[in-house]
Amino acid sequence: MFYIGVDLGTSAVKLLLMDSDGKIVNIVSKEYPLYFPHPGWSEQKPEDWYKQTVIGIKELIRDVDKSQVAGISFGGQMHGLVILDENDQVIRPAILWNDGRTTEETEYLNTVIGKEKLSEYTANIAFAGFTVPKILWVKNKEPENFARIAKIMLPKDYIAYKLTGVHCTDVSDASGMLLFDVKNRKWSREMCDICGISVDQLAKCYESYETVGTVLPQVAEELGVSASVKVAAGAGDNAAAAVGTGTVGDNMCNISLGTSGTIFISSKNFGVDKYNALHSFAHADGSYHLMGCMLSAASCNKWWMDDIIGTKDYVGEQQSIEKLGENHVYFLPYLMGERSPHNNPNARAVFLGMSMDTTRADMTQAVLEGVAFALRDSLEVAKSLGIELTRTKICGGGAKSPLWKKIIANVLNLKVDVIESEEGPAMGGAMLAAVACGEYDSVEEIAAKVVKVVETVEPDADLVAKYEERYGQFKEIYPACKPLF
Residues with a catalytic annotation lie at 237
Using CA atoms, how far apart are residues 423 and 421, in angstroms rounded to an integer? 6
Q: Rounded to an integer, what distance in angstroms lies between the CA atom of residue 331 and that of residue 310?
A: 19
Torsion of CA 174, 179, 185, 188, to 10 degrees: -160
55 vs 49: CA distance, rounded Å: 10
Q: Is 289 known as a binding-site position?
A: no
Would you tell me how many other CB atoms lie within 10 Å of the CB of residue 415? Answer: 14
Judge whether 286 and 350 are in contact, CB under 8 Å. Answer: no
Angstrom distance (rounded) from CA 270 to CA 164: 32
Query: Do the Cβ atoms of 301 and 260 come closer than 8 Å?
Result: no
Confirm if 33 and 46 have CB atoms less than 8 A apart. Answer: no
Give the separation between CA 52 and CA 382, rounded to whole angstroms. 38
Helix pair 360-384, 402-412: axis angle to 10 deg = 40
What 3-state class would DSSP assign to 231? strand
List, in sequence order, every residue forming a beta bridge with 362; answer none if it has no partner: none
Radius of gyration in angstroms for the set of CA atoms belonging to the chain, rounded to a whole number:
21
The string of DSSP letters for 75-120 reads EE--S-BEEE-TTS-B-SPEEPTT--TTHHHHHIIIIIIIHHHHHH
CA atoms within 13 A on the CB side of 455: 13
78 is in an annotated binding site: yes
Annotated binding residues: 78-79
Annotated binding residues for substrate: 78-79
